[in-house]
Structure 1
Amino acid sequence: MAVANTEHLLEVNNLKKYFPIKGGILRHTVGTVKAVDGVSFTVRRGETLGLVGESGCGKTTTGRTILRLEQATSGEVLFEDKDVLKASSRQMKALRRDMQIVFQDPYASLDPRITVGQSVAEGLVIHGIGTPKEREERVREVLAKVGLHASQINRFPHEFSGGQRQRIGIARALIMEPKLIVCDEPVSALDVSIQSQVLNLLRNLQREFGLTYLFIAHNLSVVEHISDRVGVMYLGKLVELASREDLFREPLHPYTKALISAIPNPDPTARRERIVLQGDVPSPINPPAGCRFHPRCWIARPICSEQDPEFAEKRKGHWAACHFAGEF
């Protein structure tokens, strides 16, 4: 009998998501967009794993595929040792109580035709949890937890600011008492002053309810603030994964080093070597042979264009996909 892994809440193995490109009069498949191309990682119970990269690198698609909001092309997603990708509709409905998402756009993620109370209670209604009175009481409790007043339960989304709407989105996820929440760029659409409030709210809720986060973002400063470990994606692949301290102190992949060099420094007297990458991100329809980063890499050598580097543990707990990891 298999022994359950009590340390890892989520395990992703060789996950792939390809989108077909249709063309011609008969709409034949003429190519594929390799949005996620062989991504593997684990998320420990109670931690925050940050997933970062440029726009179009596949990080959001990774999160959506894990939750089966997108159907995976291949791979394996284990949530508490249950195979999410092979789960039946009934099994998936049960799993969704434990796996929730906070979407990026707080304006588009709420139905403008129903009240905030109805929106937050929707999951309870779908799963048949509680009586109407019990659901209303639960909604009031959760709204208070995210910093909103219970009296706002009968208001509509247009009556709230962006930051308040994102708090409502967090309440929708929290009301199901999940174990894992995928945060898909939850603060990127908010003002900087509001971002810190929402990030601190997420951290407080994590401590109070023992939540586990997969935190997707393109802002490294945000990821550094909230994450325990950080994974860096480039063109559909994971190129580095390490603890927050190790990754920001000594990155092993040149792409990660370039990203970190672009973080603004609040100290005007401090000097940081800025690495400006040449060229654009290659197309995920026809990615380069070998290492996908090599056309933009300043340490690239012939082997980089010929052989795809293995994503391997270079140091204890520090993984990278680079033939010359740390040699820059």
Structure 2
Amino acid sequence: MTTVPTSAPADPNVLLEVNDLKKYFPIKGGVLRRTVATVKAVDGVSFAVKRGETLGLVGESGCGKTTTGRTVLRLEKATSGEVLFEGKDVLRSGSRQMKLLRRDMQIVFQDPYASLDPRITVGESIAEGLVIHNIGSSAERRERVREVLGRVGLHANQMNRFPHEFSGGQRQRIGIARALIMEPKLVVCDEPVSALDVSIQSQVLNLLKNLQREFGLTYLFIAHNLAVVEHISDRVGVMYLGKMVELAGRDDLFREPLHPYTKALISAIPSADPTTRRDRIVLQGDVPSPINPPQGCRFHPRCWIARDICKEQDPAFEEKRKGHWAACHFAGEF
């Protein structure tokens, strides 16, 4: 089993541990609907998240980052691997224990338009978790809804409105309130600002940071925008074609990336300073299919430093420097 990359492997402050997580989706075909191929969406991912920190998970569309987040929460059934939340085995927990765990593990979905039920008021949506877990009386639930709406920058008198009466940014605040009302320890943020205008993105990001300080929240923040991840994350993990290729502290990773894929992603970040010149690295070709990933290093067909060993051997995901992990035969040699 792959070693979990943490700053201290036995650190009691680690809230979430993910070991060698895999999620394969079968492709059915023929009259008998037999499995004819497998999509390796997540293929052996390991990481850990410490209490109170934000771990950013980035990569191109289709790299498996959203599936990783959903599988960690058991919204998708894992093919294999291990997910430990405060030492409790999430993937092998029974329904009763899993219900208790879900109070401490919440998610903010990407699409604020699709994640809210249009048939019920936003107050009912926010209070739904309290109802399911039988927390408080009806009056107490309404009071908690009013309180949490105020915490996310909305008015308590808006709780009786329906989702179509709100803007995209307001809907995402409602989604955050719905996660926050359960007083969770871990929140998976699945691209929570990608569907919002740029001016609204900064407001939602600042809100998330303020709530983290106020409630001691831990975030697994999934995004494809590295500028957003740099703003909010303490550490950053980079995924490519179902695998983690680099994991390091935010400043260390953006200052000196060790994997060529990370370097290419960072080179594409626009600079606010017009006098700053950045050597743009344009990757050739398309991302290979997760149904039939390349032999050896999965990035080698698009890598400008690839050599023969890259085509034959899959590089181990190992600690190259203190707290800086990478899966590359020639880490930093570019």
Please give the TM-score of this superposition, normalised by the length of structure 1: 0.99
Question: Could you say which residue in structure 1 is the equivalent of 2:39?
Answer: 33
CA distance in 2 between partners of 1:246 and 1:47 (Å): 16
How far 1:269 sits from its partner (Å)? 1.1
Alignment of 1:305-324 (within 5 A): 305-324=311-330
Q: Give the SS at the match of 1:10.
A: strand
Question: Could you say which residue in structure 1 is the equivalent of 2:280?
Answer: 274
Asked if residue 225 in structure 1 is aligned to residue 225 in structure 2, the reply is no
Question: What's the CA shift string for 1:116-163, capped at 9, x where partnerless?
Answer: 100000000000000000000000000000000001010000000000
Question: What's the CA shift string for 1:89-136, capped at 9, x where partnerless?
Answer: 000000000000000000000000000100000000000000000000
Residues 5, 252 of structure 1: alpha-carbon distance in 2 compared, 3 angstrom cutoff = closer
Question: Could you say which residue in structure 1 is the equivalent of 2:7?
Answer: none
Out of 23, 37, 61, the residue aligned to residue 29 of structure 2 is: 23
CA distance in 1 between partners of 2:301 and 2:12 (Å): 41
Asked if residue 169 in structure 1 is aligned to residue 175 in structure 2, the reply is yes
Q: Give the SS at the match of 2:271.
A: coil
Question: Could you say which residue in structure 1 is the equivalent of 2:155?
Answer: 149
CA distance in 2 between partners of 1:296 and 1:63 (Å): 26
Question: Could you say which residue in structure 2 is the equivalent of 1:122?
Answer: 128
CA distance in 2 between partners of 1:242 and 1:270 (Å): 25
Question: Could you say which residue in structure 1 is the equivalent of 2:248?
Answer: 242
Greater CA drift, 283-292 or 263-272? 263-272
How far 1:229 sits from its partner (Å)? 0.0
Asked if residue 85 in structure 1 is aligned to residue 122 in structure 2, the reply is no
Out of 263, 267, 272, the residue aligned to residue 269 of structure 2 is: 263
| Contact persistence 1:5–1:81 (CA under 8 A) | no
Residues 68, 135 of structure 1: alpha-carbon distance in 2 compared, 3 angstrom cutoff = same
Q: Give the SS at the match of 1:109.
A: coil
Question: Could you say which residue in structure 2 is the equivalent of 1:198?
Answer: 204
- What is the root-mean-square deviation in Å for CA atoms of aligned residues? 0.6
CA distance in 1 between partners of 2:34 and 2:201 (Å): 44
CA distance in 1 between partners of 2:12 and 2:186 (Å): 14
Letter in 1 for 2:20: N
CA distance in 1 between partners of 2:31 and 2:136 (Å): 52
Q: Percent identity?
A: 87
How far 1:281 sits from its partner (Å)? 0.1
Q: Give the SS at the match of 2:237.
A: strand
How far 1:6 sits from its partner (Å)? 2.3
Q: Give the SS at the match of 2:119.
A: coil
CA distance in 2 between partners of 1:83 and 1:5 (Å): 17
CA distance in 2 between partners of 1:150 and 1:61 (Å): 34
CA distance in 1 between partners of 2:282 and 2:214 (Å): 41
Q: Give the SS at the match of 1:265.
A: coil
How far 1:286 sits from its partner (Å)? 0.1
Out of 272, 276, 283, the residue aligned to residue 289 of structure 2 is: 283
CA distance in 2 between partners of 1:104 and 1:270 (Å): 32
Q: Give the SS at the match of 2:91.
A: helix
Letter in 2 for 1:249: R
CA distance in 2 between partners of 1:245 and 1:104 (Å): 26
Residue correspondences, number = 325
Letter in 1 for 2:51: R
